[in-house]
Amino acid sequence: MISEPEMAGEGESAGAVDLVSDTDRPPPLGRFAGRPWAWALGAAVVTSAVWAAVLQGTGYGHTAAPDLHGYGVDAAPCTNLHMQPLADDLGSVSFGQIPPKVTRSAALDRVSCTLIGSAKDADGWSKTYTMAVAVELHKKKDPADEFDALSRSDATTAASTETGLLMSYMKSPERITHPEGLGDEANLIAGDFQQSLYVRHGGAVFSLTLVGSNDWDESRGQAPTGADGGPERQRVADTSAFRKDLVPTMRTLMRAMAQPPSSS
């Protein structure tokens, strides 16, 4: 989500993860055995390209600096505590975090990370939920003009693997609403399989995306099939039941990023 001039700063940690989205069809079952979340983690490059193109087309860098409202990028966004009430409502028995990546420059500070929750069923299936977060602090130009275009464009990005092969997953109808009481403006992009919430507060832009997958324990042999001969459960999990949690979870996240990190 960053143009080249903004990326002059050094990254402070490895393991970058960005938002996910959907295109046309689910990836093949078993492609990501052992990494049930991998197919859901590849939109960073595509989304960054969209963001950069939008910024370049609007004369980025030629207006007064925006108000950052005291937000910082030092706090780790992707913790169970900062993802409440969503993390609790998912019902996952374990969580793992892909470490945050922090990037700083004269124009933009940014942190992105992912929290992954999983729960196993007794029948050999497990469900994995991926919560992807990004916080951007635009220090040179207010991103208001680009905010709406960014949110809508991100809904068509793709997932990729570590080999660079782009894989698409199931497309579902999207409904865009604008929750009130979150920053200056907010866009909630909701489908059956992906829920994304974007918020702008002055020069700060927050994003939170949830996707899920159904995964079969291959140590039990072949996955059970349905009447149509396909897998008993579709690869992409329906996350629409958790849509209600995105707004209160975003409020939790914004409060956390507005507070200085505690000293040890």
Question: By the 8 A CB rule, do 128 and 215 touch?
Answer: yes
- State the average pLDDT over residues 166-174: 50
The answer as to whether 163 is a domain residue is yes
222 vs 80: which has the higher pLDDT: 80
13-17, 25-29, 163-167, 197-201: least confident range:
163-167
Return d(Cα 135, Cα 246) in angstroms, integer.
15
Determine, yes or no, domain membership for 239.
Answer: yes
Residue 44 in domain: yes
146-155 tens-digit pLDDT? 887 765 555 4
Which pLDDT value is given to residue 47? 45
Query: Residue 231's domain spans which residues?
Result: 4-257
Count the domains in the chain: 1
Greatest alpha-carbon pair distance for the chain in Å reads 61
Is 176 domain-assigned?
A: yes
Spatial distance between the Cα atoms of 149 and 181, rounded to a whole number of angstroms: 21
CA proximity to 73, closest of 108, 42, 116: 108
Query: How confident is the model over 104-146, as pLDDT tens digits?
Result: 999 999 999 999 999 888 788 889 999 999 999 999 998 988 8
Per the prediction, the chain carries an average pLDDT of 75
Q: Taking residues 1-27, what's their average pLDDT?
A: 43
**Is a pLDDT exceeding 60 seen at residue 177?**
yes
For tokens 């992807």, name the residue: 132
**Phi, psi angles (nearest 5°) of residue 59:** 70, 45
77 close to 253: Cβ distance less than 8 angstroms: yes
- Please indicate whether residue 161 or residue 199 has the higher confidence score (pLDDT): 199
pLDDT band (50, 70, 90) for residue 15: very low
Share of the chain residues as helix, strand and coil, in percent rounded to the nearest 5: 20, 30, 50
Is there a domain that residue 262 lies in?
A: no
Mean pLDDT over residues 20-30, rounded? Answer: 40
Other beta carbons within 10 angstroms of residue 149's beta carbon come to 15
Q: What is the mean pLDDT of residues 187-193?
A: 91
Spatial CB neighbours of 142, under 8 Å, sequence gap ≥ 6: 63, 64, 66, 202, 203
pLDDT at residue number 196 = 94
> Of the segments 2-16, 59-73, 117-131, 156-170, which one has the largest average pLDDT value?
117-131
Q: In the chain, what is the straight-line distance between the N-terminal and C-terminal CA atoms, in Å? A: 32
Of the two residues 67 and 122, the one the predictor is more confident about is: 67
- Write down the pTM of the prediction: 0.70
Establish if 263 belongs to a structural domain. Answer: no
What local confidence, expressed as pLDDT, does residue 225 receive? 80
- Asked, for residue 224, whether it belongs to a domain, the answer is yes
Q: How far apart are CA 53 and CA 177, in angstroms?
A: 25
Tell whether the model's pLDDT for residue 264 goes beyond 50. no
Percent of the chain with pLDDT over 90: 42
Name which residue leads in pLDDT, 33 or 229: 229
* Residue among 171, 161, 172 nearest 39 (CA): 161
Domain membership of residue 95 (yes or no) is yes
